Amino acid sequence: MPSSHRPDHSAAGDAALVISQHWDGVYRVCLARLSHPADAEDAAQETFIEWLRADHTEITNLTAWLNIVAVRVCIRTLRRRYRTVEQLTGRLDKGDDGASMDPVLESVWFDQFGRHLPALDRRVLRYLYLNQLSVDEAALRLGVTGSHLRVISFRARRRAKSLLEGLDLD
């Protein structure tokens, strides 16, 4: 067999060494961006797959390159999570006929429920769901970017959901 067709076992060993040395750092970057351990692990794996496909002669600082690629992978993951603005701001039907509650009752209910949430979560949920502001309007009132508001609202909805699941309604 010609030497050019043989597998390069030293390259495979080098790849395993690089992955083992840099895994923790890349995983921490992904976890900080995505907040879910499973998503962070997937993003870290995708980062190393991109590294394996990349031209290694172009990479001058491997740690910096991996961190930049990890952030980009996380951004793509978040974009897939929030494909449309309607998914973020769409209101759920509040009854069999789709009619919503009386706005006054809805506001009183939210105030009672919301006092168990952090202040920022209350403001975000109120702007998006009770006041039905667009993402841009709510972001402007809060002084954040639209993409940051999406992350904040995702976490606020997650906290609200866990709070609602913990209520004893019987």
CB 88 within 8 A of CB 82: yes
pLDDT of residue 48: 92
Between CA 82 and CA 88, with CA 83 as vertex, the angle to 5 degrees is 50
3-state secondary structure of 169: coil
Sign for the CA dihedral angle at 123, 129, 135, 136 comes to negative
Give the Cα separation of 53 and 66 in Å (integer): 13
CB distance 61 to 39 below 8 Å = no
pLDDT of residue 101: 46
pLDDT at 112: 67
Quickly list H helices, the chain: 9-34, 37-53, 62-81, 85-89, 103-114, 119-125, 135-142, 146-166
With tokens 């083992």, the residue in question is: 20
Three-state secondary-structure class, residue 6:
coil
What is the four-CA torsion angle of 147, 142, 157, 98, rounded to 10 degrees?
-100
Q: Where are the domains of the chain?
A: 8-81, 88-166
8-81 classified as CATH 1.25.40 = no
Do residues 100 and 91 make contact, with C-beta atoms less than 8 angstroms apart? yes
pLDDT of amino acid 163: 76
Check residue 58 and give its pLDDT. Answer: 85
User: Could you name the CATH architecture of 88-166?
Assistant: Orthogonal Bundle (1.10)
* pLDDT at res. 66: 93
pTM above 0.75, yes or no: no
Q: What is the pLDDT of residue 15?
A: 84
The structure tokens listed for 56 are 């290694």
What's the rounded Cα separation, in Å, for the pair 20 and 75? 24
User: In tens digits, what is the pLDDT along the chain, a chain of 170 residues?
Assistant: 444 444 343 455 688 899 999 999 999 999 998 888 888 999 999 999 999 988 888 888 999 999 999 999 988 888 777 654 445 544 443 333 344 445 555 566 666 667 777 888 888 888 887 778 888 888 888 888 888 888 888 888 888 888 777 765 44
End-to-end Cα separation, the chain, in angstroms? 75
